[in-house]
Each structure stands twice: as structure tokens, then as C-alpha cells.
Chain A
Amino acid sequence: MEQFEFNYPAKHKVPKRAHVGVAGSGDLEVLLEPKDDNTASVRIRTSVDGFKNTWKAVLDRFFGQYDRAVHIEINDAGATPGAVFLRLQQAVEATEV
């Protein structure tokens, strides 16, 4: 298992937190919470070692479109980059409902 963190600048607040997904085979759990400062932080724990660059690429793309101040925790059990992106979008949607 590997763990790493990424940080991004952020502009806007989010109204509430969101929890989506499950740390089951090929899937991931996302916990998204509002943050008070103008930054976004992501902490990832993944069962599959050696893909830090891929995680960075997925999150760079995600935060290229999303500028909210959030702390995200990801518990990953081998999700593909596409599945990771979809779960992140689902978490964002859940904060907007």
C-alpha cells in the first residue's frame, strides 16, 4: 500500500461534505470536506504501488477544472484512472445537491 498527498490552489468554498464509493476491488472511496483556506489537499491511500505519476496526472486534470477549497481523502482498491475521475465528479455532484 502507498500513501501520498497533493496540494492545489483554490478559490471558492463548498457548502457541504460528501462521501461516495467503496474501497472494494476496482473501486475507491472518496471523502470530500470543505476547507477554510484557499487551498485544496488530497490524501491518497492505494493498494496498488507504483502509480504516483498517474495519480498526479488525474488530479492535475481534475483540479484544472475544479477550483474549490476542499480536503479529499481517497481510499483506493485498484480503481482505473477513469473510475477515479468519475468518483471525484460524483463527490462534487453530491456537494451540490
Chain B
Amino acid sequence: MSSPIFSREYLQRCSFIELNARERAKSLFDPGTGRELAEPFDRIESPWLAIQGVTPQADDGCIVMRGTIGGNKATVIAFNGPFQGGGIGEVSGAKLTAALDLACRDNEKGSQTSAVLLLETGGVRLQEANLGLAAVAEIISSIIALRRYAPVISVIAGPVGCFGGMSLAAGVSSYIVMTPEGRLGLNGPEVIEEESGVEEFDASDRSLIWSIFGGQQRYEQGLADVLVNDDTDRMVNTVRELIAKGVPAVHRSEQVDLYRSRIAALDPSTQWEPKQLHSWPSWSAGSLARPTSRSEGPATGNKEKEQ
């Protein structure tokens, strides 16, 4: 037990998770190119929080920046986890949708622009329930419109994670990048415990939570594309590489048959261990190597780009 626990590399790295949302967004851009839109002094804040006794924030917890990443035009949208748990409200949702639509218009004009979503969010902000749900629907359709032209990359670094409606937004993005500290799931641990009881899911059991929602597990399951340690340089390089890689031939959310067959092969009468869900093709029925095309005639990213 005398050997050092932390390596020099670990101690000298610049943590990505420890940056605040604005710093995270800025760190991804080529130096000096990141420019913020609808910034705090524009005071585009939620009109719904103050009347419910909740202090609003001047940027509504959503930071939008544009610039270049590895020489390619990109927009980065970051959610501020400490403000309302990164929850999506009417204004923050509209900022995200408008940023995606702006990138989409640039692509339509022939100027390729990718999007990076830094998701630290518990999903819809309960104080703005229906408006938040409507925002999630808009966000998803804007991601699907944009991903035909350029990659939409979701980064789930932590510590809040990505839950609720925004996990659906992550699910339709071109690539998902996670750290081992990040978490991705539809219902969060507290919600499951509240609904189904502590014997079903103990939301205080951190190792249980990360074994199911954690970045390592999501990567092993094939639900995240890249697992990267908490290091700003590595995160920047990962995002640059994915932007350079371009639109995937088939998006994860287009592989309906594959995921349906995985669910069909699950036997809910037995208790599954998280590790059994790694390498799903080996236990799922039928031939489940990741398909490169679909029988209904796939509209690949490249084909759509030509249209």
C-alpha cells in the first residue's frame, strides 16, 4: 500500500469536469475563436421562475458559443449543472433549438457547421413542465435535421449526468462521448427509487448507480461511442476527431431493428448483472453484428448531404 495512488499525469492534467459550463464550452474552440451568443448581459432569462419564488439566472443556465474546432465551424451549447440541475426550461430550450437551427441553416448554405452539446442536465425543469417538454420535442427534431449535414456530438462529462428528456436528445445525436464520471439514463436513480421502492433500486448506492448508468457501462454496452478520462486536452482531441470523422453512415437511433431485437432477447424473469449487458451481440438472438444498412433503404448521412 506504499505505492502512490495518483500518477504524475493524473495530478498534472487539467480536469474538464472541474471547469464551469462557460469554461468547458470555451475550452473546445480553437484559441480565440469562441464567441458567445445570447450571453448573460442580454438577460434572456426565464419569466416563470421568479413568480414561483426561484431566483432566475441571466443566461437561463444555457451557454451558446460559435467558432471553429480544429479549423471546422462549430457551435457548442453547454448546460450549467449547478443552476436548476441543468434543467431545460422554455428559454434554455429555445436557446439550444435556435443554436441548432442556426447551424442547420449554415449547412444548407453550404458552410458545414457541427454541433457539440455539453449535457449536464436532469431533463425538463419541473417549474416549467409543459414548456420544457415542448422544448425537448423541438430540440430532438432540430438535432435530427442538423445531423444529416454535420455531426451532432453529445458530451456527458459529469457530475450531474444526462437524464430525462435530454437523454432522448443524446440518443438521437451522431456520437455520445462520456467520462467514467458521467451518467446517462432516462429515469434517474431517485425517480426509480421513488416509483418502485428502495428494494428495487437503492439511489444511495453509488456503485450500483454507476454500474448501470455510468460512462464505462454505457460504453461497454455500445450506447456511448467514446469513453474518455477527465482531461481537457483529451476531451478537445476527442471532439476534434469526431468532427473530422463527419456524419456516421448510420445513426444509432436509426438502428431500430437492432435495438428491438436486444430488448426482445432480454428475459425479465431473471436478474441481470450490468456486466452481462456488455457485448450484447453475443447474447442477443439472431445475427446482431452492428448493421451497416437497413432493409428499408437507409438514408445515410452522406446521401442526404448530397440532396
Given known A-B contacts A45-B50, A77-B55, A27 and B41 have beta carbons under 8 A apart:
no
Q: Are A22 and B40 in touch, CB under 8 angstroms?
A: no
The 0/1 profile, CB within 8 Å of A marked 1, for residues 202-237 of chain B is 000000000000000000000000000000000000
- Contact-residue size bin, chain B (C-beta under 8 Å from the other chain): 10 to 19
A22 and B53 contacting across the interface, CB-CB below 8 Å: no
Tell whether A10 is near chain B: CB-to-CB under 8 Å: no
Question: With an 8 A cutoff between CB atoms, is B70 at the interface?
Answer: no
Question: Whole-angstrom distance between the alpha carbons of A31 and B56 in the complex?
Answer: 13
Decide yes or no whether A19 CB sits under 8 A from chain B.
Answer: yes
Contacts of A17 in B (CB 8 A): 41
A-B residue pair count with CB separations less than 8 angstroms:
47
> Mask for A1-32, Cβ within 8 A of B = 1, else 0?
10000000000000001010011110101010
Contact B55 A22 (CB under 8 A): no
Q: A75–B53 Cα gap in the complex (Å)?
A: 12
Q: Find the A residue at minimum CB distance from B82.
A: A24
- B55 contacts A47, C-beta separation under 8 Å: yes
Q: Which residues of A contact B39 (CB under 8 A)?
A: 19
Q: Which of A22, A23, A45, A76 interacts with B20 by CB under 8 Å?
A: A22
Q: Does B54 contact A (CB under 8 A)?
A: yes
Chain A residues near B83: list those with CB within 8 A: 22-24
Q: Is A73 an interface residue (CB 8 A)?
A: yes
- Cα of A17 to Cα of B39 in the assembled complex, Å: 13
Of the candidates A1, A29, A46, A47, the one whose C-beta lies within 8 Å of that of B58 is A29
> How near does chain B come to A59, taking the closest CB pair, in angstroms?
17
